[in-house]
Every structure is written in C-alpha cells, then in structure tokens.
C-alpha cells in the first residue's frame, strides 16, 4: 500500500502552505510546527516531510532549530529540504535530527557537491528533489526554472545512484486539483528500482487511492490535511501512514 507522508512547510517558524510555489500566496496553518508534528505522530504516521521555505529562497539553511525541536519531541523519521546549499548546511540538518535530506536546487546548480553527499551519506539518506513546471526542473524555492528536462534529469541521477526521488508538479501544487499521475507513471518507467514520492495536488483520499493504483510507492500530503479534506482519522483508519 502507498505510504502517505504528511508535510510541514516552514516560513518564519510557522506552518504554512503555498499555492503553485508562490510565496505571496503563503497561508499560515499553525503557529507551532512541533505541535503539528506531534499530531501526525499521534495519528500513527512514521515519516514527516519538512521544508525550510525561508532556506529555499536564501543561500543557507534557516529553520534548523525548528527541525531540531520536531526531532527531539517526536519519533518521526524526518526528511528535510530547503536551503541545503553547502556541506555545512547538510551537516547542520543531520545534526539537528534529519534522517534524510532532499537536494533540489543544489542537484541542478552544484551537481559535484550533491554527488559527493550521495557518496558520503548513501542513497538511503539522500533524496533527489525534482520539482517541475511544464516538464522543466525548477530551483530556488521554485522561483527559477532550469533548462533541464524532468525525465532526463532524474534518469541521469538514477544512473549515479539515486534511489529516492520527490517530485512535485508545481502547476498543481497547493491547488487541490488532483495529482499529476501521468507524470509519475512516466518517471517510474525511467526509474525502475527507485522510490518515487509524489507531491502536489492531492485533494482527497480518492486521489491517494488513484496514486496507489498507479503503483506510486509514496505521496506527500499537505494542504489537503490542513484544509480538512483528508483528516488525521482518515490516515489512521486506512493505515496509510
């Protein structure tokens, strides 16, 4: 069965969600990310996706103290991304409790560094972030778009040893309009042994089942939970966490 991974995106130490990656659309859903994380843990979730949105549009990790508090007060397996643009950033993330880190912008702009992380920490701890708009990989908190084709980009890193990929279709992220299932099917075809993690657009439990039927191993869900479209009871009841 597909694994559902709840998401906490952080700006200014608060839980927020964006629409299509637009920072001006930021909406606060919780003043305390630690309390939110505890709620996910109490619902039986095992993993948590944490994104430092302040870090994503800056030159370094920012909300690492919040990461540390979540890791200290829950037993959740945390994958952390946003602002990881140097060896020191990654060291801080792991030291503050991240079990895994996700590199997106750095994989595009500093591939040698990202590949060094992959060798040093291993494919079980380094996730490729491959978020796309119109089939092209986006970077820097989705504020910039590269010339890299999404499928060619993930295929190249698969050959270099990546075995986990988080991919968001920016055009549907935060819209509650449904996930881009065809995109994930195409990705799984070029990544036959990788764990593809879907993200963006999920609006209901039915969307989760559709991704499961398509063979997607895991999905990150954020806004649908915060908006009450998918409840914590739903997750606990159908044992998706």
Q: Are 89 and 79 in contact (CB under 8 A)?
A: no
Catalytic residue among 131, 169, 173, 207: 131
pLDDT one-digit tens code per residue, 35-69: 999 999 999 999 999 999 999 888 899 999 999 99
Q: Are 67 and 93 in contact (CB under 8 A)?
A: yes
pLDDT of 141 reads: 65
pTM of the full structure = 0.93
Beta strand 195-199 with 132-133 is unpaired
- Distance from C-alpha of 107 to C-alpha of 116, rounded to nearest angstrom: 11
Q: Among the residues of 46-175, which ranges form H helices? A: 53-56, 64-73, 87-95, 105-109, 111-121, 150-159
Q: Which residues pair with 198 in a beta bridge?
A: 167, 219
- 140 catalytic per annotation: no
Q: Are 219 and 2 in contact (CB under 8 A)?
A: yes
pLDDT of 240 reads: 55
Which candidate, 47, 65, 59, 73, places its Cα nearest to that of 10? 65
- 131 catalytic per annotation: yes
CA–CA–CA angle 172, 173, 177 (5° rounding): 45
Mean pLDDT, contiguous 10-residue spans, the chain (241 residues): 94 91 87 96 94 91 97 98 96 98 94 98 97 87 84 97 95 88 96 95 95 96 94 78 56
Q: Which residues are CB-neighbours of 159 under 8 A, at least 6 positions away?
A: none
pLDDT of 126 reads: 98
Q: Are 102 and 195 in contact (CB under 8 A)?
A: no
Number of alpha carbons in the 13 Å side-chain half-sphere of residue 88? 4
User: Token pair of 192, please?
Assistant: 């036959």
Q: Kindly report the backbone phi and psi dihedral angles of residue 185, in degrees, each rounded to the nearest multiple of 5, phi listed first.
A: -60, -45
């Amino acid at each position: 069965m597909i694994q559902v991974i709840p998401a906490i995106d952080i700006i200014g130490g608060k839980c927020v969600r964006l629409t299509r990656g637009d920072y001006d659309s930021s909406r606060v859903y919780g003043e305390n990310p630690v309390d939110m994380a505890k709620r996910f843990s109490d619902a039986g979730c095992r993993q948590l996706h944490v994104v430092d949105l302040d870090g994503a549009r800056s030159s370094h990790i920012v909300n690492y103290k919040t990461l540390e508090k979540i890791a200290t007060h829950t037993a959740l397996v945390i994958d952390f991304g946003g602002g990881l643009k140097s060896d020191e950033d990654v060291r801080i993330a792991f030291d503050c409790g991240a079990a895994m880190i996700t590199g997106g912008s750095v994989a595009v702009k500093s591939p040698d560094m990202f590949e060094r992380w992959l060798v040093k920490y291993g494919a079980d701890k380094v996730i490729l972030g491959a978020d796309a708009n119109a089939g092209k990989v986006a970077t820097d908190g989705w504020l910039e778009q590269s010339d890299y084709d999404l499928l060619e980009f993930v295929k190249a890193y698969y050959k270099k040893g990546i075995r986990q990929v988080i991919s968001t279709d920016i055009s549907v992220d935060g819209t509650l309009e449904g996930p881009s299932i065809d995109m994930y099917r195409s990705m799984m075809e070029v990544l036959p042994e990788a764990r593809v993690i879907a993200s963006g657009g999920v609006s209901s439990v039915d969307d989760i089942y559709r991704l499961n039927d398509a063979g997607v191993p895991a999905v990150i869900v954020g806004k649908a939970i915060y908006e009450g479209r998918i409840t914590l009871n739903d997750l606990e009841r159908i044992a998706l966490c």
